Structure 1
Amino acid sequence: MTTSPTHGIAATVQVLAFDVFGTVVDWHGSIVREMQALHPEVDADAFALAWRAGYQPAMQRVRSGELGWTRIDELHRLILAGILPRFGLAHLDEAARRHLNRVWHRLDAWPDSVEGLTLLKRRFTITPLSNGNIGLLTNMAKRAGLPWDCVLSAEVFRAYKPDPATYLGVAQVFDLRPEQVMLVAAHHDDLEAARACGLRTAYIERPLEFGAGHVKDVTPRAGNDLHAASLVALAQQLSAG
């Protein structure tokens, strides 16, 4: 679905900024696979969902001022400490907890991500715009082969999405107008916040983000400039412009 002429977008946009968790990498499947290997007695699907369920509430504690600026690595660790007893893992020692927490650095890319990003990089500057911290995103990119031109994160702006400072910060970093930046994401709330700041937006379908038992509705919604089934498909749309 295209709500604006693709050729106009391709002529205007210079930077593509990507949500990462769920859009570029498969956080749910990656955590499930690791838990099945490390702790096969645990319901890996439920564990992954419980860990992710704490994500927004933890960031809200930072947004509200209850916590000072805290990186996602530390927020993930706080959430982990809260859910381990629920899954019978309260006995894990410090080394095991640290290793498990760093699973977020080891997330696997969706099958189309590296190819799609490589194609898009030929024409645009590509960067993550993630709530993940810089070290996490860099380690993830190194392991998964994500070919970013640079790594931007909420850590750079000391604000978590959907704070306007994150979206407008990308434009400021590259000395561009907001409409010269496009956010690419699989989450409508992220895209809506970016549009409110004047960015262009592209929705990527990730129906299995929460696993095969929790299929997402990826019906097109009004407002996005582009809608694509994969990053490869997005590259094809933009190359046609």
Structure 2
Amino acid sequence: MATRPPLRVLFFDVFGTTVAQRTPVADELWRAAKEALESDKSAISDEVRSKATKMSYKQWFELGGEWDKDVDEFVSDSKAKYGSVDWRAIDKYRFESLHKQLAKLGLSIPREAGSTSELRIREGSLWDDSQLKFICHIWHRLPPWPDTCRGLELLNTKFSTVTLSNTYQDLMEHLVAHSSIPFQLFYTADMFQSYKPNPKVYLGAAEKMGVKPEECGLVAAHLNDLKGAKTCGFYAIYVERPLEEKNPELQEENIPDIEIKEGEGGFVALAERLGIQVS
């Protein structure tokens, strides 16, 4: 039986694995609502103000989850219709999606059909267009998990560390720079004109790094992503993160080659598991 070559490159999923999503998004919505409600300049209608004031943090957290779910469905529809994904369009859709979620709750008042205004949201809403766009930009400034930067510093001493995310290059560079996350290289799905878990992304990334797939590992908090990478010959490295696994049924397939469970230390624990001295 052939001996498997040692790991040389670690590719990383980013959203949910490297940076936190659910709580930071809820925090952003909660903060922005509080700021709008307390602003002397805000022109919120009495009805919207009453509804927003009664919103609990839990409800904002749930709204954030529905927002993310709707964007995921938009991505899936794009894949089904066109066989590809325009990640910049997805980024822009976040605005439409959040507006839609807020309108369902009576917190955002849309312009009437036929309106000549370029603005999408009427006065009286909790947020105006510019405020909503700033909130949507949270995806460019999500914070790393507490173990992310230290873990990557350790992993960089032995491996090449590279992002491999379903997004576009500019967003990834903004996100990584915002929190000074010490990746060595930034790869995104748009570079390979595809999307994970399409093999084109994993195999294209390995080829671009000049290594064999068997010399690569994917670090992710999503089993579906790891399953796609493992099918291409990658090591599957599962770093469990709170509320991130969207396909728990895949746990029965024993996909990971290495597994770091939630609360075990994330990327720092991974570095130790891979033979790096952690002081």
TM-score of the pair, normalised by structure 1: 0.85
Residue 205 of structure 1 and its aligned partner are, at CA, apart by 1.5
> Are the equivalent residues in 1 in contact too, given 2:236–2:256 (CA < 8 A)?
yes
> Are the equivalent residues in 2 in contact too, given 1:26–1:209 (CA < 8 A)?
no
Distance in 1, Cα, partners of 2:175 & 2:251: 29
1:185 paired residue among 217, 220, 223: 220
> Are the equivalent residues in 2 in contact too, given 1:63–1:159 (CA < 8 A)?
no
> What 5-or-longer segments of structure 1 have no aligned partner?
1-7, 211-215
2:100 paired residue among 82, 85, 108: 82
What letter matches 2:23 in structure 1? G
Distance in 2, Cα, partners of 1:131 & 1:78: 20
Distance in 2, Cα, partners of 1:217 & 1:237: 26
> Are the equivalent residues in 1 in contact too, given 2:223–2:250 (CA < 8 A)?
no
Name the structure 1 match of 2:258: 226
What secondary structure sits across from 1:126 in the alignment?
Answer: strand
What secondary structure sits across from 1:12 in the alignment?
Answer: coil
1:162 aligns with 2:197: yes
What secondary structure sits across from 2:134 in the alignment?
Answer: helix
> What 5-or-longer segments of structure 2 have no aligned partner?
35-51, 110-124
What letter matches 1:105 in structure 2? H
Distance in 2, Cα, partners of 1:68 & 1:120: 33
Distance in 1, Cα, partners of 2:234 & 2:101: 37
2:12 paired residue among 15, 18, 35: 18
> Are the equivalent residues in 2 in contact too, given 1:13–1:180 (CA < 8 A)?
yes
Residue 135 of structure 1 and its aligned partner are, at CA, apart by 1.8
Residues 160 and 74 (structure 1 numbering): CA distance in 2 closer, same or farther, change over 3 Å? farther
Residue 189 of structure 1 and its aligned partner are, at CA, apart by 0.8
What letter matches 1:73 in structure 2? D
Residue 67 of structure 1 and its aligned partner are, at CA, apart by 8.4
> Are the equivalent residues in 2 in contact too, given 1:59–1:75 (CA < 8 A)?
no
Q: Residues 1-241 of structure 1 correspond to what in structure 2 (within 5 A)?
A: 12-40=6-34, 41=52, 42=55, 43-66=59-82, 69-71=85-87, 72-87=90-105, 88-90=107-109, 91=125, 92-209=127-244, 222-228=254-260, 229=264, 230-239=266-275
What letter matches 2:148 in structure 1? S
Residue 101 of structure 1 and its aligned partner are, at CA, apart by 1.1
Q: Structure 1 stretch 179-188 or stretch 219-228: which is displaced more? A: 219-228
Distance in 2, Cα, partners of 1:18 & 1:164: 15
What secondary structure sits across from 2:256 in the alignment?
Answer: coil
> Are the equivalent residues in 1 in contact too, given 2:223–2:251 (CA < 8 A)?
no
Residue 66 of structure 1 and its aligned partner are, at CA, apart by 4.5
Higher relative contact order (CA 8 A, sep 6+): 1
What letter matches 1:168 in structure 2? L
What letter matches 1:127 in structure 2? V
TM-score of the pair, normalised by structure 2: 0.74
Distance in 2, Cα, partners of 1:223 & 1:208: 19
